[in-house]
């Protein structure tokens, strides 16, 4: 088709697709950007991913795979700059992208696809400067997160909410992970329904596959005949990793004999507000008296992560807010049942192949986990259904839908608020400093 893009500029300001998911600010967004970019490249579409340079040793331009360049833009100090302080560097980041733009023809890119609101702010300017369509994926939204905060978490700032509203207004197309997220964009951000397209994320079905639980446990130095409960993700209140420890403690209170066969593994690193108490989970395990059954594991490469999923009897995803839940779909692709919070995109990710728990009452979560541990036949049936459910979420299917969004955005590109003489959120351009 004539509207097919030939070159795509992706922008991910705060985290690079080259970083290890599971720690710092690296998570599902990194996986999404990397996998969709690789799929686009397989179809002959060139992709440049712009991200912030975080070390002096990082090359300015690197290659993810042939056809996908990662361009590292200098904006602020290389290290020690938390995500919350990045809004102050958006001008520098935008200037860096504009410098790159000077070295290519004006019509070099066909579409700009931004990820997370910080990138949307930069992409808004870049798309306007280059005269191309802007597609934006929120990944998470301040107003949604603030509606579902953990008790000890910090609300997202007002400035982020305002920035998200501006990006919603400026984008030609908005990509939502699920129908629920699409409704949140419409209801909470007044996004025009015609601009919102649902594109579920995917899973690497060549890496995350079913396999032998016993072999996985031998490789990971776990008891072959024991029980393993697993949490995977960034360690922060939003993800509620403490729920895994509280469930384990309650299980052992109810059934003390289970202690000799139970292992609880937390795989991930501190992130976000979790950085304020990097050893909080270790302290909680000690307070609960379960240090002997808990293993804390640093983030691992994907092949090893798949082995952890295969080794587990159950994977818990107790997040307070989740736009989709890549951990859930990865675990299911490996044939492991998931117990997840009934929030956000998790019902879509889990489908009928797992168990959803309303709220965050440790007793209710323990009931769900205990019932499954006592019923191996049900776990086996859920595992079979999990593989079948996950098979419909390959990254190739995601990219098919994403390309359709790109075509629509290119075809229907609207005039930028900047070009129309308007500034941020409709403020006359002349008064913007």
Same fold, 7-202+395-428 and 213-390: yes
What residues have CB less than 8 Å from 372, skipping those under 6 apart? 313, 314, 337, 339, 355, 378, 379, 382
CB 14 within 8 A of CB 87: no
pLDDT for 267 equals: 96
State yes or no: 145 annotated in a binding site: no
State yes or no: 58 annotated in a binding site: no
Average pLDDT for 12-22: 77
CB 89 within 8 A of CB 14: no
Query: What is residue 421's DSSP assignment?
Result: T
State yes or no: 116 annotated in a binding site: yes
pLDDT for 427 equals: 37
For residues 315 and 330, give the distance between their C-alpha atoms in angstroms, rounded to a whole number. Answer: 10
Mean pLDDT of the chain: 90
Q: Which residues of 33-55 are buried (b: 16+ CB within 10 A; e: fewer)?
A: bbbbbbbbbeeebbbbbbbbbbe
Q: Is the pLDDT of residue 158 over 50?
A: yes
For residues 255 and 12, give the distance between their C-alpha atoms in angstroms, rounded to a whole number. Answer: 47
State yes or no: 322 annotated in a binding site: yes
pLDDT tens by residue, 28-46: 788 999 999 999 999 999 9
pLDDT for 395 equals: 96
Average pLDDT for 186-194: 97
Distances (CA, A) of 53 to 21, 202, 282: 17, 27, 32
Q: What is the largest CA-CA distance in the chain?
A: 72
State yes or no: 14 annotated in a binding site: yes
Q: Is the pLDDT of residue 133 over 60?
A: yes
State yes or no: 13 annotated in a binding site: no
pLDDT tens by residue, 236-269: 899 999 999 999 999 999 999 999 999 999 999 8
> Under CATH, to which class is 213-390 assigned?
alpha beta
Average pLDDT for 162-186: 96
State yes or no: 332 annotated in a binding site: no
pLDDT for 430 equals: 33
Reduced 3-state DSSP string for 169-232: HHCCEEEECCHHHHHHHHHHHCCCHHHEEECCCCECCCCCCCCCHHHHHHHCCCCCCCEEEEEE
Average pLDDT for 88-104: 86
The domain spans of the chain are 7-202+395-428, 213-390
Query: Quick one: what percent of the chain has pLDDT higher than 90?
Result: 73
State yes or no: 29 annotated in a binding site: yes
pLDDT tens by residue, 285-332: 999 999 999 999 999 999 999 999 999 999 999 999 898 899 999 999
pLDDT for 26 equals: 61
State yes or no: 180 annotated in a binding site: no
State yes or no: 406 annotated in a binding site: no
Copy the structure tokens of residue 160: 């982020």
State yes or no: 26 annotated in a binding site: yes
pLDDT confidence of 79, banded at 50, 70, 90?
A: confident
> Under CATH, to which class is 7-202+395-428 assigned?
alpha beta
State yes or no: 84 annotated in a binding site: no
Residue 27: count other Cβ atoms within 10 Å of its Cβ. Answer: 25
State yes or no: 298 annotated in a binding site: no
Q: Is the pLDDT of residue 271 over 90?
A: no
For residues 406 and 136, give the distance between their C-alpha atoms in angstroms, rounded to a whole number. Answer: 10
State yes or no: 215 annotated in a binding site: no
pLDDT for 151 equals: 78
| Nearest to 140, CA basis, from 116, 156, 113, 158 | 116
State yes or no: 30 annotated in a binding site: yes
State yes or no: 312 annotated in a binding site: yes
State yes or no: 310 annotated in a binding site: yes
State yes or no: 273 annotated in a binding site: no
Average pLDDT for 206-210: 97
């Amino acid at each position: 088709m004539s509207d097919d893009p030939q070159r795509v500029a992706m922008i991910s300001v705060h985290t690079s697709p080259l970083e290890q998911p599971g720690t710092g600010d690296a998570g599902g967004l990194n996986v999404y950007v990397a996998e969709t970019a690789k799929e686009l490249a397989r179809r002959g579409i060139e992709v440049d991913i712009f991200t912030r340079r975080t070390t002096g040793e990082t090359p300015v331009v690197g290659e993810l795979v042939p056809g996908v360049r990662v361009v590292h833009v200098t904006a602020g100090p290389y290290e020690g700059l938390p995500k919350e302080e990045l809004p102050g560097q958006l001008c520098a980041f935008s200037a860096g992208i504009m410098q790159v733009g000077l070295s290519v023809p004006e019509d070099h890119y066909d579409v700009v696809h931004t990820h997370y609101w910080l990138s949307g702010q930069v992409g808004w300017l870049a798309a306007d400067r280059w005269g191309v369509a802007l597609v934006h994926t929120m990944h998470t939204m301040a107003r949604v997160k603030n509606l579902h905060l953990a008790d000890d978490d910090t609300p997202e700032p007002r400035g982020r909410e305002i920035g998200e509203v501006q990006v919603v207004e400026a984008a030609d197309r908005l990509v939502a992970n699920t129908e629920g997220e699409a409704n949140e964009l419409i209801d909470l951000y007044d996004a025009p329904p015609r601009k919102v397209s649902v594109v579920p994320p995917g899973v690497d079905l060549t890496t995350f596959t079913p396999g032998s639980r016993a072999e996985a446990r031998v490789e990971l130095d776990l008891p072959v005949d024991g029980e393993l409960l697993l949490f995977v993700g960034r360690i922060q209140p939003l993800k509620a990793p403490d729920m895994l420890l509280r469930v384990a403690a309650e299980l052992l209170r109810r059934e003390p004999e289970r202690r000799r066969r139970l292992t609880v593994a937390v795989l991930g690193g501190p992130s976000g507000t979790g950085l304020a108490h990097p050893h909080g989970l270790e302290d909680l395990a000690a307070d609960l008296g379960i240090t002997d059954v808990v293993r804390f594991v640093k983030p691992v490469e994907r092949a090893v992560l798949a082995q952890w999923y295969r080794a587990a009897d159950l994977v818990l995803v107790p997040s307070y807010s989740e736009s989709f839940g890549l951990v859930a779909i990865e675990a299911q692709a490996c044939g492991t049942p998931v117990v997840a919070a009934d929030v956000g995109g998790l019902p879509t990710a889990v489908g009928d192949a797992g168990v959803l728990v309303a709220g965050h009452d440790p007793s209710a979560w323990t009931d769900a986990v205990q019932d499954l541990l006592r019923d191996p036949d049900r776990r086996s049936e859920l595992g079979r259904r999990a593989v079948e459910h996950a098979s419909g979420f390959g990254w190739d299917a995601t990219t098919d839908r994403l390309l359709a969004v790109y075509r629509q955005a290119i075809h229907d590109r609207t005039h930028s608020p900047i070009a129309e003489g308007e500034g941020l959120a409709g403020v006359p351009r002349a008064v913007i400093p």
